[in-house]
């Protein structure tokens, strides 16, 4: 079976993990490897502050608190996303307002955001699906005009850029995931990029169980105490050590994935050209990170047949996201703004192909040949 994901391993991770355990004798949070990873991300993504978290979900939870979401506030987000994007804001009491996606990128349709804004709206959450950037200039402009916070769910967008800026570094806050299904992994983990300096101190407090311990450790206060509510969002330095190994090889991982992505595109372009298959696009000025390669079949029936056909040939392919607005929790916590023109229709067509660091060209060929075989009899 050609798996649809294989977690990345570059080979240097265990050396760093051993160092954390045996040399540093520091495996709780905020140890040397956590600091290294955070500094690396600040430098690489040109952002003033990064905090490692226990997951992408916890980074999003922190973002919701930092946006000062109160019960009854509204948050605008796409319906085509992972549950974490939504549930993090629901925990803070938000009412979700789902906006349709663009069919070309599956990202929130920036032209439909303004119509969803009410006097209760507090924030816009831009999910960079498949590591392809949302139209951030438009989104930031809307947010500025209405006084809204912007949170980037860049869980899939680590190392992608939008007009030269790293995804996650553009909004007030950006959230990364280092789950093993993402491009860089620490098993379970994530990071929050805090781009608005006014939020630095509160972010540290929320992540340190509501205490000002971070200021204490820097010698800025002479004792630390409970100052606000918060939670425990610090990952173990063992996990950070593992991630450090991967960040050392970030470019290698990125280039390897991009090579697979380009190979898929070359091989499937002919089917796209005759109009039988949709393939992903990356708008002008957006450099993606090959998080995902998906295809779009004609409709739900054809997609179901395609996934089954691939499975028979040893290729694991999966659909993505039952749109949240039609899920049981989505119905309870949110509403769809305007008409669902593309969200349901396009998500029904989408099938993800195997994509991971180290995907072998011969395996990629097997996938591509199976897709060509499926369509050979159909047009
Ligand atoms: C993976 C993912 C998350 C959650 O990240 P975890 O690290 O698994 O908590 C959130 N949003 C999106 C869009 C994701 O793909």
Find the 139 Cα to ligand 1 centroid distance in Å: 21
Q: What is the pLDDT of residue 320?
A: 87
Q: What is the mean pLDDT of the chain?
A: 96
142 within 8 A of 113, measured Cβ to Cβ: yes
Q: What is the pLDDT of residue 103?
A: 97
205 Cβ contact list (under 8 Å, min separation 6):
211, 212, 214, 227, 228, 230
Q: What is the dihedral of CA 301, 307, 312, 313, to 10 degrees?
A: 130
pLDDT over 80 (residue 379): no
Q: Can 13-247 and 250-375 be said to share one CATH topology? A: no
- With the most atoms of ligand 1 within 8 angstroms of its CB, the residue from 62, 177, 180, 183 to mutate is 177
Domain boundaries, the chain: 13-247, 250-375
13-247 classified as CATH 3.40.640.10: yes
Q: What is the pLDDT of residue 52?
A: 98
Counting residues of the chain whose pLDDT is more than 70, the rounded percentage is: 100
pLDDT over 70 (residue 255): yes
The protein residue whose alpha carbon is closest to atom 7 in ligand 1 is: 56
Distance CA 248, CA 62 (A): 27
Mean pLDDT along residues 258-278: 97
SS3 state at 86: helix
**Domain 250-375's class?**
alpha beta
Question: What is the model's pTM?
Answer: 0.97
Per-residue pLDDT reduced to its tens digit, 175-204: 999 999 999 999 999 999 999 999 999 999
Q: Which helix (H) or strand (E) holds 152?
A: strand 149-153
Q: Which of 272, 352, 345 is nearest to 317 (CA)?
A: 352
Q: What is the pLDDT of residue 79?
A: 98
Residue 352, beta-bridge partner list: 294, 318
Ligand 1 binding pocket, CB closer than 6 Å: 55-57, 81-82, 84-85, 127, 153, 155-156, 177, 179, 190
């Amino acid at each position: 079976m050609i798996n649809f994901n294989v977690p990345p391993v570059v080979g240097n991770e265990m050396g760093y993990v051993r160092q954390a355990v045996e040399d540093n004798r520091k495996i709780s949070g905020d140890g040397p490897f956590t600091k290294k990873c955070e500094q690396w991300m600040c430098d690489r993504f040109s952002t003033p502050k990064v905090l490692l978290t226990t997951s992408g979900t916890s980074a999003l939870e922190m973002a919701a608190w930092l946006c000062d979401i109160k019960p009854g506030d509204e948050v605008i987000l796409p319906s085509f996303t992972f549950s974490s994007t939504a549930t993090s804001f629901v925990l803070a009491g938000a009412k979700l307002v789902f906006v349709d996606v663009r069919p070309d990128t599956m990202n929130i349709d920036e032209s439909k955001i303004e119509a969803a804004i009410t006097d209760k709206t507090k924030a816009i959450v831009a999910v960079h699906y498949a590591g392809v950037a949302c139209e951030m200039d438009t989104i930031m402009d809307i947010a500025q005009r209405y006084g809204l916070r912007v949170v980037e769910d860049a869980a899939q967008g680590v190392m992608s850029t939008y007009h030269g800026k790293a995804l996650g570094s553009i909004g007030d806050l950006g959230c990364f995931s280092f789950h093993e299904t993402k491009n860089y992994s620490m098993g379970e983990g994530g990071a929050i990029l805090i781009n608005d300096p006014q939020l630095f101190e509160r972010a540290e407090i929320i992540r340190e169980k509501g205490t000002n311990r971070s200021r204490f450790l820097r010698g800025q206060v002479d004792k630390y105490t409970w100052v606000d509510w918060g939670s425990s969002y610090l990952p173990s330095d063992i996990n950070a050590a593992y991630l450090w190994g991967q960040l050392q090889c970030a470019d290698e991982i990125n280039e390897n994935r991009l090579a697979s992505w380009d190979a898929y595109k070359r091989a499937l372009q002919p089917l796209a050209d005759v109009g039988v298959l949709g393939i992903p696009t990356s708008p002008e000025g957006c450099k993606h990170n090959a998080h995902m390669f998906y295809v779009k079949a004609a409709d739900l029936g054809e997609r179901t047949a395609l996934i089954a056909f691939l499975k028979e040939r040893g290729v694991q392919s999966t659909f993505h996201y039952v749109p949240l607005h039609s899920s049981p929790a989505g119905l309870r916590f949110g509403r769809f703004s305007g008409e669902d023109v593309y969200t349901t229709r396009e998500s029904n067509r989408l099938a993800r192909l195997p994509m991971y660091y180290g995907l072998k060209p011969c395996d990629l060929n097997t996938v591509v040949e199976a897709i060509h075989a499926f369509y050979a009899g159909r047009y």
